[in-house]
Amino acid sequence: MINHRRRFLQGAVSAGLYAGLGAPGLSLSVFAQNASPGPAPMMPGLHYVDTNGIRMAVYEQGTGPAVVFCHGFPELALSWRNQIGPVAAAGFHAIVPDMRGYGLTGGSDDVSDYGMDVFCADLIGLLDAKGIDKAVFVGHDWGGAVVWTMPRVYPDRCLGVIGLNTAANRPGNLPPVQGSEPSLIVRTADYYFNTFQEPGRAEAVLEADVRKSFDFFLSRGGIWNKDVFAGLPEDSLERRMDFLGMLQQGIQPGESFLSEGVVDYYVRAYEATGFTGGLNWYRSAVRVGVALANARNTIDVPCLYIGAEHDVILPPASADGMEDFIADLEKHTVQDSGHWTQQEQPDEVNRVILDWLARKIT
């Protein structure tokens, strides 16, 4: 499927299909419109919004105060399928996009078109297109990094923030947190964040067998369990989180927990788009400083941090010290969950989110 995609793109370029797009590199969003996996299952109606130079695919449901859900890597809007209905039923306007570079939204292959400042501007354009003044922003993984940035750069557009697994970046004017729990990951040159940097390197591994890649990532237990992870040898591929090496050697990190229909959609979507858009979030990480250059050092809206007991990559301890710059902060740890919290333990996540929304957002 990926080879078919590349041949399609080469033919499209030679035919002038991408002329006038105004962005260097190929537009994944245009490709998605021509080879679409279709709307995600178990989600409300799909529509598109023009924002910040992209055509963003958006699912929404309900009326009331807006709640925008932002997914991470390698997920899609589909990862919030269990949250959108209950939040809408509780009297809120739930809005769930495929983020820039992903799924039906897509985006340029050029890393310069990515960055935290760009991701935040995408969300502001989304609100503007819908005539929404302020929203609660909910994010997981990379989406969490975006939503914690929003109240520091666009404080007048935020009602509140909910971060799943991802903690807020500590402002540079504060000293480091003392006594926080050290990471269990043994970071080397083969740590996944490092191996995702070189264009084409991770794509070659992840796109070789997209289903295998999703069976690998979206699993639970094994290395996604903190206790099991801590017992592995420090020189193992697992402890070093050498994801590409593990995939190439056929090491399965955990057990599948998603329905076949959900995995099928992820696979169809990534067979159509490839992984470059999502990987560009890692490659543009150095631009976090650009977004925060003139940002506030405090977050002045109500906030909720939800951690997961067994998340090794983003453990609950990573949120230590957030109270130093967020006056109205609540924390909750979801038990028996690894990194994919809203998909692993949707009922508990929904309970915590709905309780907080009912008390903090009117």
- The ranges assigned to domains in the chain are 29-172+183-191+274-360
Return the pLDDT at 35. Answer: 66
Residues facing 70 on adjacent strands:
139
Question: Which residues are catalytically annotated?
Answer: 141, 282, 339
pLDDT on residue 283: 98
CB-based contacts of 37, cutoff 8 Å, min separation 6? 103, 104, 265, 268, 269, 271, 272
Q: Could you please report the per-residue DSSP string of 52-85?
A: TTEEEEEEEE--SSEEEEE--TT--GGGGHHHHH
Q: Which two tokens stand for residue 176?
A: 């480091």
Task: Give every strand in the sheet of 329-334, ordered side by side.
Answer: 46-51, 54-61, 93-97, 66-70, 135-140, 158-164, 303-308, 329-334
Q: Which residues of the chain have pLDDT under 70?
A: 1-35
- Bridge partners (DSSP) of residue 49 are 56
pLDDT in the model for residue 290: 86
Does the model's pTM come out above 0.85? yes
**Amino acid present at 298:** T
pLDDT of residue 355: 98
CATH of range 29-172+183-191+274-360; options 3.40.50.1820, 3.30.465.10, 3.30.70.100, 3.30.460.10: 3.40.50.1820
CB burial readout 225-257, b (16+ within 10 A) else e: bbebbeebeeeebbbbbbbbbbbeeebebbeee
